[in-house]
Structure 1
Amino acid sequence: MATPEQVSGDEFDYEALPSNYGLGANMLAGAFAGIAEHAVMYPVDLLKTRMQILHPANGGLYTGLTNAFSTIYRIEGWRTLWKGVSSVIVGAGPAHAVYFGTYEVVKDLAGGNVDDGHHPMAAALSGASATIASDALMNPFDVIKQRMQVHGSVHKTLLQCARSVYKAEGLQAFYVSYPTTLCMTVPFTATQFVAYESISKVMNPSGDYDPFTHCMAGGLAGAVAAGITTPLDVVKTLLQTRGLAQNEEIRSAKGLFNAAAIIKRQFGWSGFLRGARPRIISTMPSTAICWTSYEMAKAYFKRQLEG
């Protein structure tokens, strides 16, 4: 059987969704993409979290990305770079299944698959809808992940961390950052999907399966979206790690605007750019891996269903 790369656009209409291409296949492709994305880039995500902490414990202050990596590796060992990865692996599969499943359904309903034309509004709407649905599922896992990533964290396992946070702060601790997460991820995802669809149309107007296009378009789209939404990511990190903060004002942070005011008061406008470099550096390959994995799995499932 010919591979997707060997099949022409006339024989293999990759972008259009056939009637027998079910939601389950989209969700499986999304789950595969999510796990691949988060697992591969996890160490850089940990560095980003460490650098965004406003008042770290002794030994947790870094001068830059390289310094953070070398310090953690030298003092805490290489295993620390993967601390908390179990949380994203457990959460990323279901969350990304919901994410891409919602994306394809809304995109189809919004007319994004009607013809070969460019549909930026359909892409933005489907992306925003996808992130609202998936973040509701992923937010608790993200809280656990960051609690385990922080320098000096005593949490050893996913379940132990979850029980500890729930006992000390209640269920609200897992969702206190959800409004902020949505304020960040909705524009992030909308921007990313529009950029991805736009770049893909320019690089691959025929809509054929093309791993190079998916990789480049995904990486560039992720970089643009990450740069724009970094300030909100700093706020989200503050809210999700407030229970471990040594600063009393941060420990009592209530929500998006209160957390933003604390950052501005204590660190000025530059505080909103903490961790911007590792965020962009990690997001580019993350989104490239995510989109490439998703499109690869999607192409595989379509070939199986069609032939």
Structure 2
Amino acid sequence: MAANERVLAAAQQFEEDEYEYESLPPNFSLAANMVAGAFAGIAEHSVMYPIDLLKTRMQVVNPTPAAIYSGIGNAIATISRVEGYASLWRGLSSVVVGAGPAHAVYFATYEVVKQAMGGNASGHHPVAAATSGACATIASDAFMNPFDVIKQRMQIHGSTSRSLLDCATTVWRNEGLRAFYISYPTTLAMTVPFTALQFTAYESMTKVMQRRRRPGYDPLVHCTAGGLAGGFAAAATTPLDVIKTLLQTRGTSSEAEIRNARGLMAAAGIIWRRGGMAGFFRGMNARVVTAAPSTAICWSAYEVAKAYFIRIEDEKS
């Protein structure tokens, strides 16, 4: 009996320790949570940026012959040799400026909704995770979409934009405000299921892996779960990402059909007619290669910042 009591006591302590880390303490400020999210967003997008640039180029419909690549390694080598190594980072300024505030909103919304739905209580709560992730992406994408348009315009082969402001001014002058949000419905159609899948997979894998290791913050758990969840969600939503790329870069095309694409269905029709089903999966390998480590970095950075702030608050109390 004594042995059973010790086992039950250990299990109860495990759940309490897990709850203490996974849930937000009462004195954990929203500002600290937003700082953690901003830190995670900038880290995520910056590290894997060259592969993201390659993904954009591979997804462009009817690219110039100089922008057709046979693989990730070949593409990186070709771009570095022909355009210079610095070109692999063209458009990064838009990500840095936009990702910090957007991810601050993203993770703040995620934590608030998750808390409201009881997702921080001990146990498995996939519905709370999926809902909080969907709400988070709707809020953050409204802010980030214009920056993403600017980023992809600067990433494409032959871009003449010298800076974030130069690109934004050119798009505004030639195409108006609509150009910055033409892809927003498509972005939501992609990022809502992407985030719901990612958050559900992340929360589920984190719970399972934590039970096999130790309670509380474990960087290996969050890094591994984040990478697997991100790669899975990226592969599943690639077709919508291809459509988004066409809409966000349509203003640079020399073809009237592409320049006049008005939304998701029109863009999907163009891709289908020109590439069939395979056209919707262009750049999938690069997208997964980008998303898996990026998501691992994002979650690791967010969780380590979150754990740091929790520890600071605990020391004060």
Give the structure-1-normalised TM-score.
0.95
Q: Does the CA contact (< 8 Å) of 1:112 and 1:123 recur in 2?
A: yes
User: Match for 2:38: what amino acid?
Assistant: A
Matches within 5 A, 1:208-287: 208-287=216-295
Aligned to 2:147: 141
CA distance in 1, matches of 2:215, 2:254: 52
Q: Does the CA contact (< 8 Å) of 2:33 and 2:108 recur in 1?
A: yes
Aligned to 1:70: 77
User: Match for 2:246: what amino acid?
Assistant: L
Root-mean-square deviation over aligned CA pairs: 1.2
Structure 2 residues without counterparts, runs of 5 or longer = 1-13
Identity %: 64
Q: Which structure features the higher share of helix residues?
A: 2
Matches within 5 A, 1:118-133: 118-133=124-139
> For residues 86 and 219 of structure 1, do their structure 2 counterparts lie closer, same or farther at Cα, with a shift above 3 Å needed?
same
1:59 aligns with 2:59: no
Deviation at 1:65, TM superposition (A): 1.4
Counterpart secondary structure, 2:67: coil
Deviation at 1:246, TM superposition (A): 2.2
Deviation at 1:216, TM superposition (A): 0.1
Q: Computing the radius of gyration over CA atoms, which structure comes out larger, 1 or 2?
A: 2
Q: 2:177 aligns with which of 171, 178, 181?
A: 171
Say which is worse superposed, 200-209 or 121-130, in terms of deviation. Answer: 200-209
User: Match for 1:243: what amino acid?
Assistant: G
Deviation at 1:207, TM superposition (A): 4.6
Aligned to 2:160: 154
CA distance in 1, matches of 2:97, 2:147: 8
Counterpart secondary structure, 2:238: helix
1:305 aligns with 2:313: yes
User: Which runs of 4 or more aligned residues in structure 1 lie more than 4 Å from their structure 2 counterparts after TM superposition?
Assistant: 8-12
Say which is worse superposed, 159-168 or 202-211, in terms of deviation. Answer: 202-211
Counterpart secondary structure, 1:87: helix
Deviation at 1:175, TM superposition (A): 0.2
Deviations 1:85-108 (A, max 9, x none): 000000000000000000000000
Counterpart secondary structure, 2:62: coil
Counterpart secondary structure, 2:262: coil
1:37 aligns with 2:37: no
Q: 1:200 aligns with which of 196, 200, 206?
A: 206
CA distance in 2, matches of 1:65, 1:93: 28
CA distance in 2, matches of 1:295, 1:284: 16
Deviation at 1:38, TM superposition (A): 0.5
1:92 aligns with 2:99: yes
1:79 aligns with 2:86: yes
CA distance in 2, matches of 1:11, 1:146: 43
> For residues 11 and 204 of structure 1, do their structure 2 counterparts lie closer, same or farther at Cα, with a shift above 3 Å needed?
closer
> For residues 242 and 207 of structure 1, do their structure 2 counterparts lie closer, same or farther at Cα, with a shift above 3 Å needed?
farther
